[in-house]
Structure 1
Amino acid sequence: MTDTSEARPTDGAAEANRLRRLMRYVPLIAPVLLWAVPCWVLLHAGQDWPPLVRVGGSALFVLGLAVMPLAMVRGHGGRQQDRAAIVGDTLLGAIWVLFTWSVLLGVVLYPALGAADMGDGQDRARAVTWAVLGVTAALLVWGYAEARRVPRVRRIDVPLPRLGAGLDGTRVVLVTDTHYGPLDRVRWSERVCETVNTLEADLVCHAGDIADGTAARRRAQAAPLGTVRATRARVYVTGNHEYYSEAQGWVDLMDELGWEPLRNRHVLLERGGDTLVVAGVDDVTAESSGLAGHRAHLAGALDGADPALPVLLLAHQPKFIDRAAAAGIDLQLSGHTHGGQIWPFHHLVRIDQPAVAGLSRHGARTLLYTSRGTGFWGPPFRVFAPSEITLLVLRSPQRPSGTPAP
């Protein structure tokens, strides 16, 4: 008998190495596919466009393929040039939508027209081209308006079995992923804060990714956060984007604006004779950032808290829920995913995160609420993933029957 116990780990390691090698080429292959597929569908597949249209159109796609990554590197790399970032981000969003609908309509509409015996191949190809262009244009206009508007308030009641009766009806407002950035959104920021102030919150939470850029650079856009009101506390945790932009500067600015940074620590929210532990951890990327003292440390966040009390935890990324559930946390509030931001990107988000949006249960006790985010990152579009300001009303099973909901 041949003993293969030694070979199996070696084979697994070899497979993992091959996968890692392939992943290195993704940043090179993905942009080419994003631009090449629409170019083929719109200009070449079954088409009989005049040579000038085919050559000129193909040249525009090649130009876009060259400009987009260069603009994004100049905009988001060391140079941090806002105009370049706007160009690169806009091209990225536009080509993602164009790619998606080129594939969908090319695969679905073209055969459907053929099955219905509607025209010859050339007619069907032209119909697909105009349909793709029309849908893309409509979605980009709508998606831009969705990204730039003040988010609608999403209210949800959250039952927490360990919540004391005195805390029933506690109003928690969650904003996250504001991503102040190259597009100046000072007025938008002011209107978001005005909306939050209409909600009469006991607790207001910002779950990270305040901005793209340093606190000094984006201070004007973030300054309205200082006007936010809460009857008990305003708390904040870092997101992964803070660690691209001098995270400690953001922690210091939020402290200056009157927010309490929950960096692996907690505060107590007392109401009606009952107490809720409100804890927060640094983002899971904090330790790899190399910034001294920054890491996600749940035990430190709960140090000194009475284990009999219910716990609300702020953690930027939903993937922290595994640690939260193991520790018996009652409710974790997260952002990071943007709900996918531009459909159907949420399918890729699911590869990395256990939840994309909404309320979900993990383990016997722990609930996770994942916000779709208040702002947007990069491409100034939101397609089938609307932004939100979330009002979570905490509910206690001990509330006397017949008591009206606040």
Structure 2
Amino acid sequence: MADTSETRASDSAARSTRPGGLRRLMRHLPVIAPVLLWTVPCWLLLYAGQHWPLPVTLAATLLFLLGLIGMPLAMMRGHGRRQQDGAAILGDTLLGAAWVLFTWSVLLGALLRLALTVAGVGDGQDRARIVTWATLGTAAALLAWGYAEARRVPRVRRLDVQLPRLGPGLDGTRVVLITDTHYGPLDRARWSERVCATVNDLRADLVCHTGDIADGTAERRRAQAAPLGTVRATRALVYVTGNHEYYTEAQGWVDLMDELGWEPLRNRHLLLERGGDTLVVAGVDDVTAGSSGLPGHRADLAGALDGADPDHPVLLLAHQPKFIDRAAGHGVDLQLSGHTHGGQIWPFHHLVRLDQPALAGLSRHGDRTLLYTSRGTGFWGPPFRVFAPSEITLLVLRSPERPSAS
């Protein structure tokens, strides 16, 4: 029988090597992902029994090769030190197109080919060519629709949220949530104006922005963010940082939002009072803030609630849904978050679920705490939204004890 101490030592060594293997895989992901995204559909659409004429095969293969080389180069020039917006638009668009083509070449390559085989349609070459044309048509239609969905003013999603501790004086409080506007390489100043006009039409008591305002510095994206200064609420405009603020100059965005009339809730709270009842509105920096190196930037929920009456209900702004465990531990009544984009381009939502406890909508965590996760108001990177529509959210807070009619 083996020595148990040796067994424990070998198990420990095995465990210690696994994270290193995962880290190595993540380091190589920027190389592995583009290769898979372009070579898999290339093979399935051109070399899986289609027997296209040689000039067609060579020309199409060259297009895939250009995508494989051009996409990472454009993204490096667009999102790296050069920050070239034109290159970023090209790289992001190619990334979205490659993801959609990869997804549907795999799905239709398996399912449609099987269905055609069972139905006895044509021979192997005919079936392979049908799959290719069906895949290209599906991808083109989804990309056109997804582009229109990404660039449109989001639909308003309305829902009532009952908070058991909310006093009757605050029943009917209107909270509008926007998040993940991601102003970026594509100039969306006009879109921003229309979003803000839509928000104003909702006549909110409280308007919240839960981070990821833009990709780039506040100075660079100021023109697109400027319409946020036109937003109005009867009580307050409040904002918390997202992870993308920490990719550039987070403090610059905090300062700009303050300048535009939004109150940055950086690990602090304010009180919303009406009819003799009080709601604590708190906010925390994004969970990535602590590793940003910026002095004073970190997620500190205890600090955000310091001095608040524990008997008052708490509405918390936190960019990432994963903060909900800490929120539930502190007895928060409702957390508002974004970050997930609802997956943005199906089926990317499966990967999002590996990192976040919720993808979109209202969910309960523990005995008291509710989480609302927005699919986001804008889009990140690829200018497409496929089966993950953007939203502006109107939450009407409800008390279990409605005020009596006068």
TM-score normalised by structure 1 residue count:
0.98
Q: Deviations over 1:295-331 (max 9, x none)?
A: 0110110011011110000000001111111111100
Would you say 1:48 and 2:86 are equivalent positions?
A: no
Match of 2:162 in 1: 159
Distance in 2, matches of 1:123 and 1:223, equals 55
Within 5 Å, give how 1:8-23 maps onto structure 2: 8-23=11-26
* Distance in 2 (alpha carbons) for counterparts of 1:378 and 1:201: 30
Which residue in the other structure is 1:397 paired with?
400
Spell out, residue by residue over 1:133-173, the C-alpha distance to the aligned partner (whole angstroms, 9 max, x if none): 11111111110000000000000111111100111110000
User: Quick one: which of 346, 351, 362 aligns to 1:348?
Assistant: 351
Number of the residue aligned with 1:144 = 147
Write the distance in 2 (CA, Å) between the matches of 1:400 and 1:263.
33
Which residue in the other structure is 2:220 paired with?
217
How far does residue 30 in structure 1 lie from its aligned partner after superposition? 1.2
1:129 CA drift (Å): 0.5
Q: In 2 relative to 1, CA 210–367 (structure 1 residues): closer, same or farther, beyond 3 Å?
A: same
Q: Which residue in the other structure is 2:286 paired with?
A: 283
Matches within 5 A, 1:158-307: 158-307=161-310
Cα deviation for residue 19 of structure 1 reads: 2.5
**For residue 315 of structure 1, what is the aligned residue in structure 2?**
318
User: What's the secondary structure of 1:392's corresponding residue?
Assistant: strand
Q: For 2:370 and 2:122, how far apart are their aligned partners in 1?
A: 54
TM superposition shift of 1:271: 1.2
Residue deviations 1:243-266, cap 9 Å, x none?
112000000000000000000000
1:326-369: CA deviation from partner (whole Å, max 9, x where unpaired): 11110000000000000110000001111110000111111000
Aligned partner of 1:133 in structure 2 is: 136
* Letter paired with 1:347: H
Alignment deviations for residues 30-49 of structure 1 (CA, whole Å, 9 cap, x no partner): 11010011101111101111
Question: What residue number does 2:333 align with?
Answer: 330
The equivalent residue for 1:59 is: 62
Residue 360 (structure 1) aligned with residue 395 (structure 2): no
Question: What's the CA shift for 1:12?
Answer: 1.3
Residue by residue over 1:254-297, the C-alpha shift from the partner in whole angstroms, topping out at 9 and shown as x without a partner, is: 00000000000000001111000000000011111111110011
Q: Match of 1:136, SS?
A: helix
- What is the letter of the counterpart of residue 348 of structure 1? L
- The match for 2:108 among 105, 108, 119 is 105
Match of 1:379 among 377, 382, 393: 382
Q: TM-score, normalised by structure 2?
A: 0.98
Further displaced range: 24-33 or 111-120: 24-33
Q: Aligned partners of 1:229 and 1:333: how far apart in 2?
A: 19
Find the aligned partners of 1:306 and 1:312 in 2 and give their Cα distance: 13
One-letter code aligned to 1:269: L
Paired with 2:230 and 2:65, the residues of 1 have a C-alpha distance of 47
CA root-mean-square deviation: 1.2
Q: Once the two structures are superposed, what CA deviation does each residue of 1:184-219 show, in whole Å capped at 9, x if it has no partner?
A: 111100000000001010000000000011110110
Gaps of 5+ in 2: none
CA distance in 2, matches of 1:253, 1:19: 39
Work out the CA distance in 2 between the residues paired with 1:310 and 1:157.
16
How far has the Cα of 1:21 moved from its partner?
A: 2.2
Quick one: which of 87, 95, 98 aligns to 2:90? 87
Deviations 1:220-250 (A, max 9, x none): 1000000001000000000011111200000
Percent of aligned pairs sharing the same letter? 80
Q: How far apart are the structure 2 equivalents of 1:174 and 1:222?
A: 16
Give the distance between the partners of 2:24 and 2:143, measured in 1 at CA: 35
Q: Contact between 2:267 and 2:282, CA under 8 Å: does it hold in 1?
A: yes
Q: Is the 8 A contact 2:171 2:403 kept in 1?
A: no
3-state SS in 1 of match to 2:148: helix
Counterpart Cα distance in 1 of 2:238 and 2:401: 27
Find the counterpart in structure 2 of residue 73 from structure 1.
76
**Distance in 1 separating the partners of 2:168 and 2:233:** 20
How many Å apart are 1:5 and its aligned residue? Answer: 3.5
In the other structure, the counterpart of 1:123 is: 126
Instruction: Give the match's secondary structure for 1:231.
Output: coil
Name the counterpart of 1:33.
36
| Counterparts of 2:146 and 2:18, CA distance in 1 | 40
- Structure 2 residue matching 1:324: 3-state secondary structure: helix
Distance 1:21 1:69 in 2: 19
Ranges in structure 1 where 5+ consecutive residues have no aligned partner: none
Partners of 2:205 and 2:160 lie apart in 1 by 15
| Distance in 2 of aligned mates of 1:201 and 1:15 | 50
Separation of aligned partners in 2, 1:400 and 1:180: 41
Per-residue deviation at 1:400? 4.8
